[in-house]
Structure 1
Amino acid sequence: MTTDLGPLARELSLPYYDAALPAHDRYHAERVRDVALRLADDCDRPVDRDVLAAAAWLHDIGRPLERTGDIDDHDVWGAIEAVDLLDSEGVPTATVDAVEHCIRAHSIRASSPEPATVEAELLFDADKLDAAGARGIVRLACIVGERSGRAGERHAVIDDASEARMAPEDGRDVSLLRHWTRERLDALHTDPGRRLGRERWQFVETFFDRFEREAGVDGTH
């Protein structure tokens, strides 16, 4: 059964992403799967790639419900839902338990448990790496956009810091993206994840250097 676990999890997960917004949609899940398996290739510990792939596909199935307020915690809800889905397909209990732990431990939230297996560490790292580099900047900008103008929230601020409530230091949402990226890269667990994180952070630094030049009308004249 487990040799087909990745494709099975993909099939089971896709309906849950129908209502997802871009930052946590099926393409995010697929990117996390791809990066997680890439990191596994460079890992010096044995990795159950089937568990890792399945957990990547299923890790954010609760996001659409969390966004609408129907559930409080997509990690907990998604882990429970994944157990039900995989149990119904006859996946062995030990494998289901391994996937469940990965999903419960994938979030950077303080309430999430620490990853206790290499598969959980790799899933965590791959998920956080999707918030870094070129795609990561676009994805985090989508998250800011999702929150912009919701009930009780201000619209996103790119240049004027006067109305910002959440952003660090200079108060712009674009600076919040940089803060979020750094926070996630600092939390990575594995050596392959940290290596890729350093590479992606270089692009983030280049992007923000360019942003600042444009904000100053491309430098002085």
Structure 2
Amino acid sequence: MMVLDAPLWQKLEEEARKFYENAGSSHRLDHVKRVIALAEHIAQKEGADVDVVKVAALFHDIGRQKEKETQGKICHAAYGAEKVKEILAKYNLPQDFIERVSGAIRCHRFRSNERPKTLEAMVLFDADKLDALGAVGIGRAFLFAGEVGARLHNPEVDLEKTRPYSREDTAWREFKLKLSKIKDQMLTSEGKRLARERYRFMEEFFERLHKEVSGEM
């Protein structure tokens, strides 16, 4: 197993940082750092290669800006998987290591048709999705809603008839139409456990929000 020493990790962080500077608030470096911590935890629990997982987590969203610039024509996961090969090759890392990192990034996307096959790819997938759940998930949902100018809450609306990036694209809509499905998509045992716990917290939060918005004391 290859060991990432501190100097190399610092250089890789510097490489990754520039890709996240102009990313949306929900996918900046703070998101990446949380995913790294989650991925490292799950990797240790599941027996995955921690170094592969950490590097994949560090670079997993470097294609976000390119996807935004092309209005979705370029998939950020596919772009990032190729770009990371160029970056890691500069540091004379083993080709097998680079390919494993690239492969994990390529299939980390929730909407991707490519499903994770290696344990390291499964760990990255789960870690990335977990950051959309729990207290952090609630915070990110409201942060995104604010970015698109959405309302605070809209439980009276038929969410199935609403549009994304609209006034009705609230945190509640994000939870009901997307985030509530994440717990059933997890791939590792530890990921599933953490997802169930975080999901329960979100359910309790939105139940309380319903009551407060409706005027219940």
TM-score bucket (shorter structure): 0.7 to 0.9
2:192 to 188, 191, 194: 194
Q: Is the 8 A contact 1:10 1:54 kept in 2?
A: no
Closer/same/farther in 2, CA of residues 166 and 81 from structure 1, 3 Å limit: same
The 5 A counterparts of 1:12-23 are 12-23=15-26
**Counterpart position of 1:75:** 77
Q: Which runs of 5+ in 2 are unaligned?
A: none
What residue in structure 2 maps to residue 118 of structure 1? 119
Given that 1:36 and 1:122 are in contact with CA atoms closer than 8 Å, whether structure 2 keeps it comes out as yes
Q: Any idea what the Cα deviations from partners look like across 1:52-96, whole Å, max 9, x if unmatched?
A: 000000000111222232762100111111000001111110000
Distance 1:107 1:7 in 2: 26
d(CA) in 1 for partners of 2:9 and 2:183?
A: 26
Residue aligned with 1:206, SS: helix
Cα distance in 1 for partners of 2:181, 2:127 equals 14
The answer to whether the Cα contact below 8 Å between 2:39 and 2:54 also exists between their aligned partners in 1 is: yes
AA matched with 1:18: E
What one-letter code is carried by the residue in structure 1 that aligns with 2:140? R
Shift of 1:7: 4.1
CA RMSD of aligned residues (A): 2.2
Q: Amino acid of the residue matched to residue 157 of structure 2? A: A
Question: Equivalent residues in 2 for 1:61-72 (5 A)?
Answer: 61-69=62-70, 72=74
Q: Name the structure 2 match of 1:108.
A: 110
1:103 partner letter: I
Aligned equivalents of 1:186 and 1:74: distance in 2? 23
How far 1:40 sits from its partner (Å)?
1.8
Q: Is the alpha carbon distance of 1:126 and 1:6 closer, same or farther for their aligned partners in structure 2, counting shifts above 3 Å? A: farther
Count of residue pairs the alignment pairs up? 206
User: Which AA in structure 2 matches 1:139?
Assistant: R
1:25 equivalent in alignment to 2:21: no
Tell me the CA shift for residue 8 of structure 1. Answer: 4.1
- 8 Å contact from structure 1 (residues 121, 190) kept in 2: yes
Measure, in 1, the Cα distance between the counterparts of 2:141 and 2:92.
37
1:67 aligned partner, one-letter code: K
Stretches (4+) displaced over 6 A? none
Once residues 138 and 177 of structure 1 are traced to their aligned partners in structure 2, the CA distance between those partners, rounded to angstroms, is 12
Amino acid at match of 2:175: R
Give the drift of 1:50.
0.6
Q: 20, 35, 40: which is aligned to 2:38?
A: 35
Tell me the residue number matched to 1:151.
none
